[in-house]
Amino acid sequence: MRLLLVADLHYSLPQFDWVLDIAADFDVVVLAGDHLDLASIVDGRAQSVVVRKYFSRLCAKTRVLICSGNHDLDAKNDAGEKFAKWLSGSPHEGVLSDGESIVIDGTLFTACPWWDGPIVKAGIAAQLAAAAAKREKRWIWIHHAPPARSPTSWGGNRSFGDVELREWIEQYRPDIVLSGHVHQSPFVKDGSWVDRIGPTWVFNAGQQFGAPPAHIIIDTEADEALWFSSAGNQFVRLGAALERPVPKLQSLPSWLKAEDRPRVPGQA
């Protein structure tokens, strides 16, 4: 399985266009939250309409898995906790989203919502417990915030990670956790796009302006993950121990042909 991870697109249409342009090259495309941008001059409802159209177009090309981020919250439950109402229901048929799990080629994927209070947090705990009973060979979580006490959640002077997620990882030991949220983690001292908590690999591609977005490609057959960004490219072998510093990607691996490498629309 070949998987593309991006997050924190924040209504950047050139970045959505880039993902759409290369989506068919992947078995699964993961957009790990913050599809919308609270700081945009475009009304949030209008943003959600446009982004839903992108989801629909992506679904015509490949499997699409998403989760909500803090910028995606547009409603409140009965307890006053915020949630992403626009990401639920029939408009997203074919898209795995908050609170759902699916098995693809023997891999169990679980998409967790952004939690804003104890009720949604308890719902995630129940969701993970139920999904654990369905676990097969590999279990991958999609959760916008990376775990606490991890380089993937380091912002340069403090951690922005999720303490509960760290505890859930230590409890259930998933194979991979795909996150975003902390834009600068891969680009600052003591931060990183990758971490390992016990047997669990944690990834956060980070956020950069323009197309292409910072992104991670994972190939489960090759057992490798590659990070591409304006700051450089790196890789890890999932069947080996995590090295620090993370090795630079000097050349494309044989499983990722030059013509298959994600590209900027309009460029050869």
Residue-range domain boundaries for the chain = 2-260
User: H or E stretch including 169?
Assistant: helix 163-172
Banded pLDDT at 195 (limits 50, 70, 90)? very high
Q: Region 241-250: what's the mean pLDDT? A: 95
Q: For residues 64 and 57, give the distance between their C-alpha atoms in angstroms, rounded to a whole number.
A: 10
230 token code pair: 């304006």
pTM for the full predicted model: 0.94
Residue 266 binned pLDDT confidence (cut-offs 50, 70, 90): very low
Residue 92: pLDDT band (50, 70, 90) is low
CA atoms within 13 A of residue 234's CA, in its CB half-sphere: 19
Q: Are 164 and 197 in contact (CB under 8 A)?
A: no
Least confident window among 50-64, 92-106, 150-164: 92-106
Judge whether 113 and 119 are in contact, CB under 8 Å.
Answer: no
Distance of CA 90 to the CA centre of its chain: 22
Closest CA to 236 of 266, 192, 268: 192
Contact (CB, 8 A) for 260 and 23: no
- The highest-level CATH class for domain 2-260 is alpha beta
Residues 93-123 pLDDT 10s: 678 999 999 999 999 999 999 998 999 999 9
pLDDT of 88 strictly over 70: yes
Ramachandran category for residue 161: left, alpha or beta (phi over 0 → left; psi -120 to 50 → alpha): beta
